[in-house]
Amino acid sequence: MYYQKSITQAVGDLQTHKERGLGQTEVKKRQEKQGKNVLPVSKEKTTRFHVFLDQWKSPLIIILVVAGILSGVFKEYTDMSIIFFTAIFNAVIGFFQEYKANKALEKLESLVEYSALVIRDGKKQEVLSQDLVAGDIVLLSAGDRVPADARLIRAIDLAVDEAPLTGESDSVKKHTQVIKKRVALGDRKNMVFRGTILTNGEATAIVCSIGAATEIGQIATMVKETKEEKTPLQKQLAKLARTISYLVTAMAISIFVIGMTFGAGRYTMLELIETAIAVAVAAIPEGLVISLTVILAIGM
């Protein structure tokens, strides 16, 4: 942990020079060994249309759509309108919830490439952040976005906005002193981290970690590797939808069979089918879906 090391130790471990920086030859060697200073690419992006389309795959919504279609077939247009309104409202709310989550991921991915001022061969030069290597000496001033995780070796009235990483809204004052104890990320005040922004002062720092090895890179890696799993609520709703569909189907079949058995000659086949379907549609709790949707919307 570089925050627990002195500046001299950090310079020695990273085999660099705090005034001259790295030489171009050494930079090329390290680039070949360390790779680019880029964040892991996340999962394939989905379009807004696909996000909206996914909302219609919910078992409860499918049941509602079927009920709405059947209501239309039997010219129950009021019921059909209410059912379809419920389904559309639910899909719209679900879309905005998922869209907000996707935008948060895109914001993380936007912290990818920008320029950085470094010292190499004793000269200041501007390079792409993706070309940085561990051991580079970076120069930072107010308004700059930190291009990699780095140990501070000079800090003048330095304050950094670490909200993109820690969520903390207040700027954090930084220094160059050694922190001997093991501390949480937000308390490593002699370090600056990729994606954070200088709100005041200026600094010089030694790059310690790049790409996936940075703190933000580790988060991006976890996001990339996380498999999408259904939430407990989604699992329970799917189970409920299956139960409802089984009960409604059993009810419709029972009514049809009873009608055929005890009402033979009094009812036509078509009348029995219409009655069975009408009872099935009436048994579907369309109010449940809109109630759940409103509750979830309030929690957005």
pLDDT at 237 over 90: no
Same domain, 201 and 235: no
How many structural domains does the chain have?
2
Q: Show which of 167, 191, 224 is a domain's final residue.
A: 224
Mean pLDDT on 21-31: 95
Q: Name the nearest CA neighbour of 292 among 228, 229, 236.
A: 236
Q: Show which of 224, 255, 273 is a domain's final residue.
A: 224
Same domain, 27 and 118: yes
Quick one: pLDDT band at residue 57, thresholds 50, 70, 90?
A: confident
Concatenated DSSP letters of 45-104: P--HHHHHHHGGG-HHHHHHHHHHHHHHHTT-HHHHHHHHHHHHHHHHHHHHHHHHHHHH
Concatenated DSSP letters of 239-257: HHHHHHHHHHHHHHHHHHH
Same domain, 119 and 167: yes
Query: Which domain does 54 fall in, by range?
Result: 48-106+230-298
Same domain, 204 and 185: yes
Quick one: pLDDT band at residue 104, thresholds 50, 70, 90?
A: low
User: Given this model, what pLDDT does residue 41 score?
Assistant: 65
pLDDT at 67 over 90: no
What pLDDT, in 10s, does the model give residues 147-190? 999 999 999 999 999 998 888 889 999 999 999 999 999 999 99
Quick one: pLDDT band at residue 117, thresholds 50, 70, 90?
A: very high
Same domain, 186 and 273: no
Same domain, 218 and 234: no
Same domain, 102 and 118: no
Quick one: pLDDT band at residue 107, thresholds 50, 70, 90?
A: low
Mean pLDDT of the chain: 84
- Look up residue 201 and give its amino acid: G
Mean pLDDT on 85-101: 79
User: Given this model, what pLDDT does residue 159 score?
Assistant: 97
Q: List the structure tokens of 109.
A: 């991915």
Q: Is 289 in contact with 64 (CB distance < 8 Å)?
A: yes
Same domain, 27 and 164: yes
Q: List the structure tokens of 65.
A: 């759509």
Same domain, 88 and 160: no
Task: Specify the higher pLDDT residue, 227 or 215.
Answer: 215
Q: Show which of 224, 242, 262 is a domain's final residue.
A: 224
Least confident of 2-11, 86-95, 198-207, 285-294: 285-294
Same domain, 294 and 164: no
